[in-house]
Amino acid sequence: MEALRWNKLVNHVLEAAEEHQLWVPGDRIIVAVSGGPDSVAFLHIMHEISTTHVPLELVCAHVHHGFRIESDDEAEMVGKLADQLNIPFECAKVDIPSYMKLTGQGPQEAARDRRYAFLHEVAEKYGAASIALAHHADDQAETVMLHLLRGSGLSGLAGMKFKRHEKNVELIRPCLRINKTDLVEACNTQGFLYFMDESNSLRKYRRNAIRLDVLPFLGQYNGQLTPSLNRLAEIVGDEDDFMEQGAYDAYRCLVQVNGGRQTFEVPSFLKLHVALQRRLIKLILNYLPLDSDFVDFTRIETIRRKVTQPYAKTWSLDIGQTLACTREYDLVSFGKRTDVQDQSFEYRLVQWNGTYELSLREIDRYLRIIPMSPEDYIVPESADQAAFDADQLLMPLVVRSRLPGDTMKVMGLNGSKKVKNIFIDEKIPPSVRPLIPVVCDGAGNIVWLPGVRRSSIAPVKEDTSAILYMTVGNSAIQG
């Protein structure tokens, strides 16, 4: 009977490994063993699998937290067990109190951080493919309930995954469908030595309180609460993976990365379902240098609502940690907060020979001036080009930065128009406006806003005998 139960546990792990592709023959796996019944039974299961089912190279890893009097005996026992199974053994004694003072974390958080850090060190040392953890179905139920009480989203309700990539290895949990009672019973019937951690009965730790109080109380109304929570985790986990893939697809289609800024167009974003809108914003924030716990529902929803509101076409939203989300007409961008200061400059062009190129170093642009005969003249094809009647254009030309109150006589419009209003009408983003130079004639009239509009001054006509042709471009792409 005991053999049948034991074989059932081994088969459970083999089935999970095949379903979730947890390993391939020849993999080197670090098995985390605390000394409790769960991890001790798990190490024996993995040992049997590696010797009779799938050739695997196992390494036993144990962390001595130093919290309890029996910690020394526990570490010694795990070391002897690894030796009996002919498995390499790695052990580290960590100073949790000092780490708690350094980080401000509680004992359980600090112990978890140091434990995982050590496991990754061992994995790197041995070139392991994965780190195997003994988390079981009861752990999963506790995790789902803990996340539910915290107000978690879909990802939290998915609980722990059978396989998750972290750093350069996979974290695998082959026992997630096995109950703790079955692992304890296996240790007792097979005669495996183990230690019980008395701190697991302390209700001051929230997870313990959930296990000891919350789940038993709710179990009065559902005798299959633990299996139900585990089914919820698996169903939600698969749907969460599906949604996450949808978010990655939307990211690839919609988001452009330029100069460290991530941008998307509002019309395309609005076509997404609200669930994908949230996922996409979360994904963008995760790519930014933010703390992981900084990306919460409130921050994501604040950004989403700001983007989807039908009014306010230009705004900047400080999202913390020196980062901002900015909308400029139909373009939303994420990146470091930039308080753009207008670069003040002025260049006077009195005379030159042939083609002349002016470097506008302050804004990383250039202006090229080409004297041209009517025979060579080609009508400008874009706002980055402009042509003037050279004889009608007063000298010297002045190329300068924009000034408050600037106005320009717009071609096709009687009278003048404020440059600010021209920018608004042309939907020039506020962050781009300081990078647009102003070209004036000798009388101070603005004749051209390169890349935007030209004035009605000195147009090229049929009787024009000399032409001044101008082009503007970015210095970074200048040929």
The Cα–Cα gap between 259 and 261 comes to: 5
Q: What confidence tens digit (pLDDT) does each residue in 394-445 have?
A: 999 999 998 888 999 987 777 889 998 898 888 887 777 888 999 999 989 9
- Cα dihedral sign, 455-460-463-464: positive
Report the percentage of the chain scoring pLDDT > 70. 96
Assess whether pLDDT exceeds 90 at residue 364.
Answer: no
Q: Do residues 160 and 140 lie in contact, with contact meaning Cβ atoms separated by under 8 Å?
A: yes
**In the numeric block, which tokens belong to residue 144?**
């789902």
Task: Identify the residue with better confidence: 91 or 476.
Answer: 91
Tell me: pLDDT of 340 over 60: no
- Is the distance from CB of 319 to CB of 325 less than 8 angstroms? yes
For residue 36, with 0-12 CB atoms within 10 Å meaning exposed, 13-18 middle and 19 or more buried, which class applies? buried
Please identify which residue in the block is written with the tokens 């042709």: 469
Q: Residue 201 has what pLDDT?
A: 75
For residues 260, 266, 271 and 272, what is the CA-based torsion angle, rounded to 10 degrees? 40
Identify which of 24, 29, 27, 55 has the alpha carbon closest to the alpha carbon of residue 42: 29
- Give the per-residue pLDDT at 97: 79
Q: Which pLDDT score is estimated for 42? A: 96
β-bridge mates for residue 407, sequence order: 418
- pLDDT at residue 230 in the model: 95
Helix (H) or strand (E) holding 3: helix 2-20
Q: How far is it, in rounded angstroms, from Cα 241 to Cα 81?
A: 38
Pairing, β 28-32 against β 130-132: parallel
Residues 6+ positions from 92 with CB-CB distance below 8 Å: 62, 63, 64, 118, 121
pLDDT (average), residues 75-97? 92
What average pLDDT does this structure show over 85-95?
92
Give the pLDDT confidence score for residue 343 in this predicted structure: 66
Q: Percent of the chain, pLDDT > 90? A: 62
State the DSSP string of 51-93: HHTS--EEEEEEEE---STTHHHHHHHHHHHHHHTT--EEEEE
Delimiting residues of CATH 3.40.50.620 domain(s) in the chain: 2-233
Q: Which of 188, 180, 198, 187 is nearest to 70 (CA)?
A: 198
- When pLDDT is cut at 50, 70 and 90, the band that residue 9 belongs to is very high
SS3 state of residue 330: coil
Mean pLDDT: which of 93-107, 167-181, 330-344 is highest? 167-181
The torsion angles phi and psi of 473, rounded to 5 degrees, stand at -160, 170
**Residues flagged as binding site for ATP:** 34-39
Q: Are strands 438-440 and 416-418 parallel, antiparallel or unpaired?
A: unpaired
Residue 395's SS3 state is coil
More confident residue, 278 or 352: 278
Whether pLDDT at 101 is above 80: no
**What pLDDT score does 478 carry?**
41
Average pLDDT over residues 322-340: 81
CA separation, residue 433 to residues 73, 236, 364, 448, 454 (Å): 70, 47, 13, 14, 16
CA-CA distance, 119 to 98, in Å (whole number)? 19
Class for domain 346-477, per CATH?
A: alpha beta
List every span in the chain annotated with CATH 3.50.40.10.
Answer: 346-477
Fold of 255-336: 3.30.465
Cβ pair 360, 345 in contact under 8 A: yes
pLDDT of residue 96: 80
Is the pLDDT at 253 greater than 60, yes or no?
A: yes
**pLDDT-based confidence at 479, cuts 50/70/90?**
very low
- Mean residue pLDDT of the chain comes to 89
**Among the residues of 129-224, which ranges form H helices?**
137-149, 154-157, 180-190, 206-209, 215-219
**Residue numbering of the annotated binding site:** 34-39
**pLDDT for the residue 146:** 92
Given a cut of 50, is residue 302 above it in pLDDT? yes
Q: What confidence tier does 293 reach under pLDDT thresholds 50, 70, 90?
A: low
Residues of the chain with CATH 3.30.465.60: 255-336
Beta-carbon contacts of 471 under 8 Å, excluding residues fewer than 6 positions away, are: 367, 368, 370, 384, 385
184-216, pLDDT tens digit by residue?
999 999 999 998 877 777 788 788 899 999 999
The mean pLDDT of 131-151, rounded to a whole number, is 93
DSSP 455: B
List residues bridging with 326 in a β-sheet.
316, 333
CATH class of 2-233: alpha beta
The tokens for 228 are: 């139900």
Residue of 375, 361, 309, 306 lying closest to 334 (CA atoms): 306
